[in-house]
Structure formats: structure tokens, C-alpha cells
Chain A
Amino acid sequence: MQAVKYVRAASVDEASRLLQEGGEGARVLAGGTDVIVQARERTREIDLFVDIKQIAETMSIAYDAADGLSIGAAAPCHEIYGNETVRELYPSLVDSTSLIGGTAIQGRASLGGNLCNSSPAADGIPTLIVLEATVEIAGPNGRRSVAVEDFCTAPGRNVLESGEFVVSLKFPTPAAGSGARFLRFIPRNEMDIAVTNAATQVRIENGSVSWARVSIGAVAPIPLLVADAAAALVGQPLSDETIAAAAAASRAAASPIDDMRGSIRQRRHLAGVLTERTIRQAAERAAA
């Protein structure tokens, strides 16, 4: 590891200014569970860490029925899955946040960090996508929001401009009859990067799927929102046929690579398997 400067930003504006002045070598430090590892292994040139955890807005978790849920970008996983509202209304966030790392990592790792690290295999992002999260961004030119499915642009890259960072993630209140589920496949039962992951949210009204979102990860340069999979479900009662069609849409959308974590064939197949399983389990939650 090289010598790195560390500054604890007291406000959104200060953080933004430090990031802009610091240029390429400046990085936001949230939980540090990605970025400190990268600095140690010298896979990223870093000379300044801007710690955002002193900024209240980046750490808070708040909910009201009209505005929905807001999760500070740096709020650690254990606070997210420990939050009563999240457990009740957004159980798919519990799915994601309780399997990122282990207990120790979850004490630090944040959803903002998971998103901004922008790994194609990130276990938070498919869930954010199916929950229709928006990314609240602050920067030198003020604030803006971006739909989460438009946030990542390539492995390790996203839409943030110089001096910008993510302040929070906002989620609409799930409509009645909704259910969502996230699953990942790893060869072991813990400590792995997803070979493939997937999330689904469905809304079931009068016995028929009225709305759906399906997202798959680790099968393309960025986590994918699979519109065709949702289209295969919407407007019909859930059946083996519609689920199989959705799974086929996910397989078709997947354009995976072959690497030490999985083969092309394996990942494409798993995109279908996990699509099917998340749909069935999301529907169970919708019914509950």
C-alpha cells in the first residue's frame, strides 16, 4: 500500500470540493471494504480518501409512506437489514445486505459503495434495480438523481462526474400485492463472488401479474434490467410457461464471459435458473 491522505468531510459541500480538487487520485471512502483492498493491492492509484461517514445524510435510514424509503449511501449493511421497516417492506434488501461478505464486512460495507464500485457481480445492484431505486447525487453543480439501472456504464465505471458522489438511495413504497427476491449462485455457501445473481419484483393483482421487474448480474459488463423477462410475465397469471419464458428472456439477455468464476454456458444457464427461482419466491412474498 502506498501512503494515502485521509480527510473526514463534515458536509456534502466539503466532500464534493475535496473530491473535485483531488481529481483522479481522490476516492470516496464509505465502508472501505472494496477500496481499501484495492489500495493495498495497488490495483487502483489512490492518494486521498474522502471519508463521508460523518455526513448525517449519508448514514441515515428514513421512511414515510408518501416518499418511500431513503437509505444513506454509506449506511452499513447491518443497519439496513436490522431496520424494522426494511425487514417488513423491503425484504429483498435484506436478501442482498445479509449476504454481502460476512458479519464483519456487513458492519462496514454500504449499498452506496456496492453501487459505486460498479462491479458487474455486485450483490446489491440487481435488488436496487428491481426496487426502482433512484440514486441521489451531489456535486459541484448541485444535486441530481439517476435511475439506478442507468448508473453503471462498464465494469468499475458509472455516471459520476468529477466532484460528484452518491448521497443516498431512494425507493418508492412497494404497491400492495408486491413481492421481491434476490438470489445469487456461488459454488460454496459463503465467501464468494456471484457466478450469477438475479432479483425479481412482481406485483400480483386479481391473480395476474400486473407489473414486474427482473434484473440479472455477473452475466454482462453491468447488471442488467431484463425488460423482456418482465414482459413475459405481465398481463398473465403466473404459470410454468410464463416463468419459463421469462427465464428464456434472461438467458437471451445474458452475454457472459468465461473466467475462473464461471463459464459462459454455466452463467447463461444460471441466469435462467435464478430468474425462475426469484420469480417464484417473489410471488410467494407477494402473496404473504
Chain B
Amino acid sequence: MVTAQSEVASQYNVIGTRPIRHDGVDKVTGAAQYGADLQLPGMLYGRVLRSPHAHARIVSIDTSKAAALEGVKSVITNADFPRASDDVIDTGEGSAQLNWLLDNVIASDKALYKGHAIAAVAAVDHHIAEDAIELIEVEYELLPPVLDVRDAMLDTAPKLHDGLKTGEMDGSKSDGDSNTASHLRFAKGDMEAGFADADVVIEREFVTSMAHQGYIEPHNGTAYWRADGTLDVWTSTQGSFVVRDSVAPLVQLSPSQVKVTPMEIGGGFGGKIPVYLEPLAAILSRNTGRPVQLTMNREEVLLATGPTSGTYMRVKMGAKRDGTLTAGEVYLAFEAGAYPGSPVGAGAMCALAPYDIPNQVIDGYDVVVNKPKTAAYRAPGAPQAEFATEAVINELAEQLQIDPLELRLQNAAVEGASRADGFTYGVIGNVECMQAAQDSSHWNSELAGPNQGRGVAQGFWFNIGFESSAYAQVNGDGTVPLVLGSTDIGGTRASIAMQLAETLGISAEEVRPHVVDTNSVGYTQVTGGSRTTFAGGWAAYECAMDIRRQMAERAAQIWEVDAAEVEYGDDAVIRGPADDEGNERSFGFKELAGQLAASGGHIVGRADVNKTSSGPAFATHIVDVEVDPDTGKVDVLRYTAVQDAGTAIHPAYVEGQMQGGAAQGIGMALNEEYYYDESGDLKNASLLDYRMPTALDLPMIEPIIVEVPNPGHPYGVRGVGEVPIIPPAPAIQAAIADAVGLRMNELPISPRAILEATLPEEG
């Protein structure tokens, strides 16, 4: 691992170092409070009845027996909620239409996937709540399930939603009902000319399975509808403000009447942005006057929260003999799950993003199927789309007999290049990542044996900015409590605090970051989109600059000089003009902090930033695998992840993100899949059969951090969390091809899939 200070970090005191995270001790000792740890006086326990069917009309629900059970305090269905409008709310890494959001939280007329919530109870303990849901009688009229995205797009397919039309980018809609909720197209250049210019054209089809984020902490939600009509919510979420703004309209309160306290969060990866249990807990609490807590078990998490889309994709690319890419045509059909809103748009923008290809058409389709409503999952949409395009790039490299990294370098997008969606890049580290991969010891090593192979792939992700706020006060002893609204999944208390410390010229330990509720900090968008260290750090920088200005003013007041003559240095020394005797006047940060109370009061800094810009992220991954041809098993032997972090604020956490993203991408590549039977029953809703890689399935993932500072950020930050999930699948696919000559264009590339592709017909 990189331990030496990087060139970029050498200009800084705190940035680029590896202090112990502020929340570390609580987490390793178990003191940290996660959602299900919360205990409130008089609290009731809730449980959800879920649909056993993938597609069914709900004819009737009889809750009377459950309600009569001793210890049951309330039983609710969709009818207990106010009617929701079709208004759309912003959820940070996506959006939600309120009536669909409500119907996903608790079904109205139809159950649209196995596990869809039908009713909920609150009881004095878990066991009674479990008994009670078994007493709820539901009559279903079964409908044929629509499980595959291609089937769903057929005119003849059963329709999930009455009145759902296909929306086009120009605002027009299809005449008839459709399971295709929207179609988008990005295009530039002249496709005919592009393919005519090509010496080699490759066209391939790809299929990927739904895959779950696999965070270890299940969803939870606790609510207390207070006697004064306000609502308190506690939940493990990636965005407390998004929870507030989602729950309030569903229970007909204004956001100002709802206070959301984010609990510690045991992983989210995008999946903990939507609300599931919180609105149910709210209505159950309103009905009972007592706090109500709901938690999911693992089966419910897999059945009824938001995995990423399964897809059908087609890619056609052309290249000249010398390797110049001339045209790229991409077709993406993404499963949205039960309600519209797959990440196909992001997938479409990412598909060819690492390359400068003059002629491109990218079509995307958002399609509803009888599976859970998808949610954001780490670089939503990109791992699928870039799996397809990177696989074709690798195959082109092979056909053209050009080194796959050379081919990429030759066509790499650089500053000034623009994508089909019109975005033009500023300073990016695309080429730098490819070059660092070429220079790596891994790329320059030899494979050691038979059935081994090497693959490489590139990844691109936008990263986002948006709104973050920060408050900080200066204590008399010079420590600085920092108040944040970003829930901390990947070490962001530390990475934001470090940027405040850097700006003030104090140590990371002297800053004390706290994540607080929605009434105690300014609006802050979700922890998602790789935005938190970027935007939260920017808010911390502005907040620190506010403190610097006030500290300088205070020194001026104490010295009785003009504030313009006082300067707050980056070394945290506040210097004024020499006094009448010609003596230098200065305060250390601590020294001045100690005089604040007596000289007029304490100082509070604050900032709210809202950045539409961001710093795009690129990554290059190299993988060696060994395939057992007898069993179809793929072992990952060696893995190197190269990534442009802009500036690595806390390199250990950047490496952790790179390794974690690679681990999840390896999971999607090799074994993770939503395995349905024909009736739409998810057969592997447990972590036994939903096969995420374990520690024994992964080699050490070697991180190589590249730093091409983002000129659009005070400290050069780009987001780092998402891009590393993108290259693993295409890199592994290529490595398998290199090892045994088999190009697997369907994910996951499980042992079963490899054997099914290689075994002779039964005999």
C-alpha cells in the first residue's frame, strides 16, 4: 500500500495523512448506535405482511383476526395512508413519484413483486407481531408475472400499471399502455459514416442479473408521532433530509413537522436512500400514540428493498486497423423493478464515456417488471453499461492484436472531449490511470500457469456535487466541534473534518465532527454520488474561511487595529501590524481561542454550499484469474485497482473505497444474482444463496491512487466511492477469455454458467 506522502499531499499538513477516524473507537467497541439499537420508552414492535406472489390483484384484506390478537395495538394497510399525488420529489441520486413511492411502501390495488408489503402491525413484542401477520387474510387474484426485461417490452406482455405510457425525451408519450416507462437517446456524429470507416466491427449482446448492495445492517425505521402533531423518525439512512422529504408528504405533514435523526449506518451503497419502513412506523405510531420500531430480516432486505437493474444490452463498435474507434452503438434495456426509475439514464451517459468516439448512438429503455423496485447501487447503471462496452473494447483489442491498454490510451477521452450527452470534460485523469496501470508491477508480471488469464478494463463515473452545510464553533481550548448533516458510511466524518482542519491550520484530532438530525444542521443532500467528501469538504472549507475571517476580526478588535491589517495565516497564526514600539503582534489559534469568551463571545462558523459541478472519476483495473475447467470455478489470483482520486484526503479511506468497490464488482461478475423461478419467486433470498464474495474469495486488492487534482474544488477532491465497482466485471470477463478462450457475455459468470457453456450436450 501507498504510505509515502504523495506529491499532491506534500503541499498540505493534514490532507494526505491517515489519522484515526473520529468515530472509530465507538464502532470497534460496539458503542455506536445503529438503527435497531434504539430503545424508546413504551416502544412497540412492528412487522410487515408481504406478498407471496409476484403479480396479483389484491381483492380483499381482512385484518380483524390480527387486530383482535392480545398484544396487537394497530394493523394498517395502504388504505390508512392519505392519497399520494403524482408529484416527483428529488432523492439525491434519483427521484421518486409520490404515489409510486407510497405503493412501493405498502401495496394498494396490486402486489407487484414477491415480498411487496401488504399490511403492517404494531404489537407489544416481536413474537406477537409475527403471530399477528399470520392472522391477516388476503385474497389475491393471480396475474401472470413479467420477469424478463425483453419479455416485458413486448406489446403482448401483461402490463404492470394501467395508464403507464412510454415517455420520450421530447415529452411525447406512447398511445397504448406499456411496461417501457421511458426511452432516451444520446447521439452525435454520423453512424453510417462511422461504421463505413471501420475495418473491424464487433456486435455483441449482454445480459446481467439484478444484484443487491448487500449492506450488512438490515433496514430499520422507528417513528414517534408526538401529541403536538410533529413526527420524530430515527433510521439508518444515507440521507436524513431525503427521508424527511419522502415521509412528510406520504403522511401529509410538512417537512418542517418531521425531524429525522440518522442513526449509524451499517452500509448502504445507494440502497439506503429510499424509505420503506419509516412511513409504516409513522402511521402505526399515529394510531397508537406510542413509538413504533420496524426492522427487516435478511430475507426481507433481499426481497423487498432496491437492488440494481438486471439488463439486456447490445453493443456494436467499429475500429480502424490502427485501433482508432470510429463508431459506437449501444442499446440498453434496464429493469426498473415494479415502478419506473431504473438507472438507465446514467448507464447511457457512462457507456462510452472513457473514449473519444466521433460517432455514437446510445438508446436506453426503463422497463417495469415484477421484481423489487430498483434503487441506487454504487455508480447506478454504470457497471452494467460499461461491462458491455468494455467487453467489446477488449474483444476489439484482441481482433486488432493491439494491447488492450494501448487501444484504450489511443482512444482515451481527454480534457475537451465531449460525450454523446453533450458534456465536455475539464481536467480528468483518464489517461493517467491507464498509464499508471501500464507502469504497475502487476501489468509487467508474468502469469504463472495453465488456465490462468489476465484482463483489464476502464471505468468512468460522474460524481455529483449539490448541497451540503456545516457549522463549527471554536471552543476556548482551541478545539472545534463540527456539525454535519452527512451520514457517515465510508469515513466522511474524518475526510470532512480534515479539510476543516487543513483550512484552519489545526490538527484533525482538534476537530470533533458530529452527524446530527435535520433540525440541527442546514440542508445536506444524501451520502451518495461520491459527493460527500467533495461537497461536505467544500462546506467545511467555507465554514473554516468564515471562522478565519471572524478570528482575524476579533484579533483586530483586541489589538484595536483595522481588520484589513490582520491576516490569518495557513499556519494558524493570526498576525497584525507591529505595535507602536515596533513589536510583532500575533496570536496562535489556541491563544486567541482562549480569549474569545472575554473579548465579546465565542465564534461560530457556518457554510451552505450548492455545487452543480463535480470532478469526474476514472479507474483502471487489472485482474488475474485461474479457471478450473472441470468445475467452472474462477479464482481471482491477483487484483490491482488504479484510480484518480483528485486529491486523496485520507488515503487509507480512499484505498478502502477502491477495495470495497472492487470486491462488490467481483461479486457481480462471478456469483451474485437474483435467481427467480417462473412464478417470480426469488429462490435465493438469503446470504447463504445470494453469494457475495467472502474474505476467502478475494486476494489482497492492491490500490494505486493517482492524483490529478480537480481544479473545481478548493482541495482538488474528486469523489472516489463509486467508480471502482465498474471495471471488475469486464476485466474478469476478459481474464476468463484469456485463460480458457471463453467469452461470457452474461453476468454472473458463475461456475454453473461456465459449465453450461462448455459441457457437451447431455449424454
Contact = CB atoms under 8 A, between A and B. Distances in A.
A263 B675 CA distance: 12
B590 interface: no
A263 B751 contact: no
Contact of B756 (A185, A192, A195, A263): A263
B691 A187 contact: yes
B694 A185 contact: no
A269 B689 contact: no
Interface string B679-720: 000011001110101101100000000000000000000000
Interface in A221-279: 259-263, 265-266, 268-270, 273
Given A191-B694, A192-B688, A266-B755, A260 B675 contact: yes
A187 B755 contact: no
B711 to A, nearest CB: 44
Nearest to A40: B297
Interface of A: 1-3, 42, 185, 187-193, 195, 259-263, 265-266, 268-270, 273
30 contacts: A1-B130, A2-B131, A3-B127, A42-B130, A185-B631, A187-B633, A187-B670, A187-B671, A187-B691, A188-B694, A188-B696, A188-B697, A189-B697, A190-B694, A191-B688, A192-B688, A192-B691, A193-B689, A260-B689, A261-B689, A262-B752, A263-B752, A263-B755, A263-B756, A265-B755, A265-B762, A266-B752, A266-B756, A268-B762, A273-B630
Contact of B759 (A188, A261, A269): A269
B556 to A, nearest CB: 64
A265 B683 contact: no
A260 B684 contact: yes
A270 B751 CA distance: 11
Contact of A265 (B130, B684, B694, B756): B756
B694 A189 contact: yes
A190 B696 contact: yes
B750 A187 contact: yes
A189 B631 CA distance: 13
The 3 A-B residue pairs with the shortest CB-CB distance in the complex, in nearest-first order: A189-B696, A260-B683, A260-B675
Contacts of A273: 630-631
Please classify how large the interface on chain B is, using the bins under 10, 10 to 19, 20 to 34, 35 or more. Answer: 20 to 34
Nearest to A262: B752
Contacts of A187: 633, 670-671, 691, 750-752
Contacts of A1: 127, 130
A225 B751 CA distance: 26
B249 interface: no
B255 interface: no
Contacts of B631: 185, 270, 273
B747 to A, nearest CB: 14
B688 A188 contact: no
Given A188-B691, A191-B688, A263-B756, A2 B683 contact: no
Contacts of B131: 2
Central interface residue in B630, B670, B693, by most chain A CB within 10 Å: B630
Contacts of B751: 185, 187, 195, 266
Interface string B636-671: 000000000000000000000000000000000011
Contacts of A259: 683
Nearest to A42: B130
B127 to A, nearest CB: 7
B605 interface: no
B323 interface: no
Nearest to A277: B630
A132 B127 CA distance: 44
Nearest to A196: B631
Interface in B733-763: 750-752, 755-756, 759, 762
B576 interface: no
Contact of B671 (A185, A188, A263): A188
A92 B168 CA distance: 64
B689 A2 contact: no
A270 B687 CA distance: 23
B306 interface: no
A190 B683 CA distance: 20
B693 A188 contact: yes
A266 B630 CA distance: 10
A190 B687 CA distance: 12
B688 to A, nearest CB: 7
A193 B687 CA distance: 11
B613 to A, nearest CB: 42
B115 interface: no
A136 B168 CA distance: 72
Contacts of B750: 187
Contacts of B127: 1-3
Contacts of B683: 259-260
B696 to A, nearest CB: 4
Contacts of B689: 193, 260-261
Contact of B755 (A192, A261, A269): A269
A181 B574 CA distance: 75
B728 interface: no
B354 interface: no
B318 interface: no
B632 interface: yes
Central interface residue in B633, B687, B751, by most chain A CB within 10 Å: B751
Contacts of B762: 265, 268
A42 B134 CA distance: 11
Contacts of A268: 762
Given A263-B755, A266-B632, 16 more contacts: A1-B130, A2-B130, A185-B633, A185-B751, A187-B750, A187-B752, A189-B694, A189-B697, A190-B697, A191-B687, A260-B689, A262-B752, A263-B756, A266-B759, A273-B630, A273-B631
